[in-house]
Amino acid sequence: MYRTKNNGELRIDHVNETVTLAGWVQKTRDKGFMVWVDLRDRYGITQLIFDEERTSKDVMDMASKLGREFVIQVKGTVIERESKNKNIPTGEIEVLVSKIVILNESLTPPFTIENETDGGEDLRMKYRYLDIRRAPVRKNLEFRHKVTMAVRNYLSAKNFVEVETPYLIKSTPEGARDFVVPSRMNEGEFYALPQSPQTFKQLLMIGGMDKYFQIVKCFRDEDLRADRQPEFTQIDCEMAFVEQEDILQTFEGLTRHLLKEINGVDVETFPRMTFDEAMMKYGNDKPDIRFGMEFGELNAVTQHKEFNVFNKAELVIGIAVPGGNNFTRKEIDQWIEWVRRPQIGALGMVYCRYNDDGSFKSSVDKFYDQEDLAAWAKATGASPGDIVFILSGETNKVRAQLSALRMQIAEKLGLRKAQEFAPLWVVDFPLLEWDEETKRYHAMHHPFTSPKPGQMELLKSDPGAVKANAYDLVLNGNEIGGGSIRIHNKQIQAQMFDYLGFTPEEARAQFGFLMDAFEYGAPPHGGIAFGLDRLVAILGGQETIRDFIAFPKNNAGRDVMIDAPAPIDPEQLKELHLQLQRKP
């Protein structure tokens, strides 16, 4: 046997036992007559001791040659430590080594492989296999495993079947570009990697699978934003013979189970909010409801005076920052500067202090009296000691700006507590979204989403007002899942493609297989997909998904460890019938 124990399991009860251990040398301390080695594996660290008086000369010599990250196997006796280390579970013992084998040597690693490392992000990504040896990274991967196991167990117990769907497919419209794979055998033809298994899971419902799930990779070629991965993992689910309510309850159940099993948290309610309400109250379709600061609409109480900035604005809204009257003038100026940054784009911000004695002091006292300011406080729910921050402008823009400010303030005031969980269903999304660039409506979710019952007629007269049978699950201000009840009728699906600007030929070429399948007894169905990477990060109390992915890509979409993407051989290009267009 390579090892009789791992490096995390020896305790005081094991004293006098002979053990064989294997692992990596994390650290050595060489005093000449005595050498200590911290031996690491996935399970922990065990201290080895080599002692001139009790260890043979050749073993002693080898011990003094050990470098960081050498892989060794040792045999020895468990003894009680003289100076105990209360910080690690094996801290009461050490192993007095009698035999050592160097299984492999190591170059000096480019960064220290300890909980706190001196390695920067780039270096750690390049040597990700070394980074994974560090306990925090390893624990994140183990944590992810625990979450996926809990998902699988829960859904299996509820009769869901995990079915694999293909990766080499045809475009699935989820609103991003496809990654494509040229076909060697079919000149000039390409596969697309799935942006999601959407069409396949619908076909599985037509196939009678009834309850499907899959923990599955999806690929989207999007312009990269911070903390987005071109390939990511979904918990993809679909059910037949369901309405929206069935889906919400089933996946509320899953989320509850995860929060309990993984975090030990009982969540009492999963409140529901319409998209319109979320936009009005939080300026955001994935509001963090762990804290207040709901928007107050102020048009009625601001547009009756001579202050033109407000008078000409489509919308004037404000939030009451709890305890914000403590902000110094300088701090307020910093917040004003913050909203004026190009990324936020506000032109300015009005504020109103609510003093403890009930009086108000605003930055626009020239225009408004105490009675006006009291009305602002009322509309934003401010109490004495708060400050009201007010933005104005075009509805969508000003909502986005105030939403960003609200989140930033909450972050600063420590209101976004990692171990507090507030799920929320956002329902009744618009079916369509106007795209200024193409001057066309796009499906907000995807083109297979059905309108709310009775709304099909509205599509002609007022397409923008049609609500979809679509829902998102939001957790702590992050969209962790989204789905819809699907269209399962060929004519309606054809009409939908028509509204979305597909010619019948285009619709047939891309989705003929699905429309045909609808003609063979497609049951009513619907589903949802969770973003696993983000879900795991949130349950783990963190926000960076990269930390929970074994081999992530960087912000430029590159894998810096294997150096991908990379050019391919001219031979290979030829085989694939491809030619590179080079600049002359």
| 550 token code pair | 């074994």
Helix (H) or strand (E) holding 479: strand 478-485
Shortest distance, CB of residue 191 to ligand ASP, whole angstroms?
18
Sequence-ordered strand ranges (E) for 199-323:
211-219, 231-240, 272-274, 296-297, 315-321
Site string for ligand ASP, 145-174 (x = CB under 6 A): -----------------------------x
Q: Which span sits near ligand ASP by CB under 6 A: 135-143, 299-307, 424-432, 480-488?
A: 480-488
Q: What are phi and psi of 352, to 5 degrees?
A: -145, 115
Q: Which span sits near ligand ASP by CB under 6 A: 282-290, 515-523, 525-533, 564-572?
A: 525-533
User: DSSP letters of 220-274?
Assistant: -B----TT--SEEEEEEEEEES--HHHHHHHHHHHHHHHHHHHH--------EEE
Shortest distance, CB of residue 264 to ligand ASP, whole angstroms?
29
- Map the footprint of ligand ASP across residues 187-246, applying CB under 6 A: 196, 198
* Among 171, 183, 182, CA closest to 219: 171
Q: Which span sits near ligand ASP by CB under 6 A: 67-75, 281-289, 527-535, 544-552?
A: 527-535
Shortest distance, CB of residue 449 to ligand ASP, whole angstroms?
7
> In the complex with ligand ASP, which residue's Cβ is closer, 18 or 249?
249
Shortest distance, CB of residue 272 to ligand ASP, whole angstroms?
18
Contact between 130 and ligand ASP by CB under 6 A: the answer reads no
Selected from 527, 534, 536, 553, the binder of ligand ASP by CB under 6 A is 527
Q: How far is 354 from 356, CA to CA, in rounded Å?
A: 7
Shortest distance, CB of residue 366 to ligand ASP, whole angstroms?
50
**Cβ–Cβ contacts within 10 Å for residue 198, how many?**
25
Shortest distance, CB of residue 218 to ligand ASP, whole angstroms?
7
Number of residues that bind ligand ASP (CB under 6 A): 9
Which runs of consecutive H residues, i.e. helices, occur in 268-369? Answer: 275-282, 299-302, 308-311, 329-340
Shortest distance, CB of residue 165 to ligand ASP, whole angstroms?
12
* Among 391, 389, 387, CA closest to 309: 391
- Is the link from the previous residue into 565 a cis peptide, with omega within 30 of 0? yes
Q: How far is 404 from 202, CA to CA, in rounded Å?
A: 37
Selected from 287, 318, 423, 482, the binder of ligand ASP by CB under 6 A is 482
Shortest distance, CB of residue 111 to ligand ASP, whole angstroms?
37
Q: What are phi and psi of 506, to 5 degrees?
A: -60, -45
The dihedral through the CA atoms of 452, 254, 147, 205 has a sign that is negative
| 549 token code pair | 């992915």
Q: Which span sits near ligand ASP by CB under 6 A: 9-17, 478-486, 492-500, 510-518?
A: 478-486
Selected from 484, 487, 518, 545, the binder of ligand ASP by CB under 6 A is 484
Q: Which residues bind ligand ASP (CB under 6 A)?
A: 174, 196, 198, 482-484, 527-529
